[in-house]
Structure 1
């Protein structure tokens, strides 16, 4: 009896001890959960604060608006015809250094059905392809990077970027295909793919990725095919004229010329091959052929002497086409020029071949030789390079200047705009092609021009030649902003009449160097600067809580540009009041938090201070889950949205009145 009682007491004591232990463990678990979520909330607040600070430091910037549009797939797609070869040469220049560093070979395979001109948004297509090519290049070394362009049976224009040796793991592929938003925590390659995918979807297309050891890595962009109504191709005319003509390809191996051969075959030209060693042993009977294609890298002094006799014979109809490699030494290019009726710069595409064949055989022109030798040419002084960082006051001396920029790329427009905005009091004029620049010169007094080379309607080189032919404009400094970096390309800029060139990506140092060297302060500039200073007092009449117009103008520097940003922001935010209300009523707190952050960035960007404050408070109540307070903000947001629109309308009316 005693023992059973003791046993019972022992069991009771043991049970109480276990209960206390369980309670203690539960308490520790609750404390852990509490501290975990408290730390997480603190981290998220710190992150939000940091993002807010970063957003504030950026100032009024069109890039904020563009980033929001891409993320929300609200970008404006501008479909227009553009020359495919121009786009591909820009890409070649942009990725040239990376290709060389990884020892890759680059090829463009363009199907004959695609043609010289394609219709689409040149800027966004370039952004996507540049990102895909860069992502492909970093996958190993010593491989072929191929961009194939063709029209699918489903009537899509397909761009397939591949690296036959590079492989991405299945886990990474899955992450690429499932990730929906850009984040600072993700890799640059992943973010660029996500961004490209969003742009592709906004264009009504798609972007996919596949990777395995058998076929390597393929990025495939598909966008709706839009026919070129003007049909700028000379393909049919050339085919009729060239059908049955013979071309001799001379090279070390057949493989080295195969990628160009198929293009010539498109026009009905019959192809023959000859190894370089056979050509050197016994010179062929060229009377059997109409043209020869040989690489400048294979040329020797003996070859030059042999072909020069043919080239200098005025009765000869035989054509010599010299093909230059991507990283060809300048002396080799110069060697080939002396005997070339036409030159191709690899990676050549069907549009390049079509152009030289049309010039030689239809127009009977010898003007396809490329750039002729110049007596004096120093690319080192023509290419501007910044030597020091630009201080805040450096650009103020150009106040009152009228600076014009011809650039069809929205990205490069934003970059140079952000740089030139620091020139307080200067007026910036942006156009997207050479024809619009000519019209601008007829309407405005321009002090300096920055221009891209490859643009729709009228390219930068042709535009420069037209400007130089007009005595009124012959002394305006013209600075090229281009990805064209090879010496033969730079020579073409000099011959057109440009003063200097800045290589992309554009930097503040190089822009400042151009202004300092070529933009002379004139009495007209000083008068404009004084007039602008007198107008500054007008902007103090606006309610700075609703819209701080003065601050926005101080950062942007131009009334028209600030007005453009305000109108585009307003258009982008249409319907935001309804969306805020819906998310709050549906208890979608996570979605509301993300949406509020995006809105805050946009309002901060234009200095709509009251809206920024409202969104900060709204975000705070989302964190602490106070729906009662959140309900009040639906009406408050709507009221301030209406007040903001009135201030924007008032500023727009003022600017339009000033311009008229």
Structure 2
């Protein structure tokens, strides 16, 4: 007993360990029995079906991955390549449909207007109506005869450029009036308001083309006259400056026949206004007769043209400085002398067939007698313009 008492602790510990070992063995055996029972009662075919189904699902997943692989590559492509592919596809779609649309679908007015947009050398903001220029071959001098009857003001200070334009159009039937700077151009417009188009050099002395164009466009009488820039400046900023000034188009120097033809065709509306051009010719003829009706003058001279020309020559000799003398008389207040001079001019112009100048001389005399200052000034200016045109017409006739 003393032995047991002395080793009780050891015995209890050993018993506890033994109990744990036994419990462990019992639990392990139970688990093995349960496991064996599962395998004994499980349906082997069902398990094989499950495994087969899992294998099929794995194979399907693999196939899906392979099918999705190109899509993943596409996603990894740069955005630019994707956009190019899409644009190519869109273009292919459009091109495949285009022939049917162009054959079957009638064009709308908007589509037609888009096809007939203004040429690149035309001011897109210009209010001047234009005519579409039809296709043509190389332009030669004879082609400009189509514009016979037009009157063009050429503001150009370079004598060589003036000669080039004159040489190009001298046989066309187009009337050319040259101005050496902007001030002369404005004066020419005030003297004769029947210009069809203006060719405007951008760089001139005294008043350049930009300032001149602005002044012309500010005047309601001239706002509908097309102004075409003449310049060697072709930079975008330079052309914008021309358009901002009010120029309706630009022609590049050195001047090319084709470009000039296209401008005249587009802005004088030749195709649409053949009848109006003929009417304008008749109007100019009537106006010329008012200045100098040669048939009437010859009739008054007894039907003798040689005698009529002698009278015209004497008139040019005796009254070539009449404007200067008349102005001096009016400035000095010598109205009596002014009236006497106008009386002579009135009588002679009636005899040579210069009805317009005769009529203005009479009107100016009446204003002088009535001491109507404003009417004197206005009528004097009209008389000077008429007298200047008359002397030019006489010179042209006598040559």
The answer, yes or no, to whether TM exceeds 0.5 is no
Give TM-score scaled by structure 1 length: 0.23
Larger Rg: 2
Question: What TM-score results when the alignment is normalised by the length of structure 2?
Answer: 0.37
Structure with the bigger percentage of helix = 2
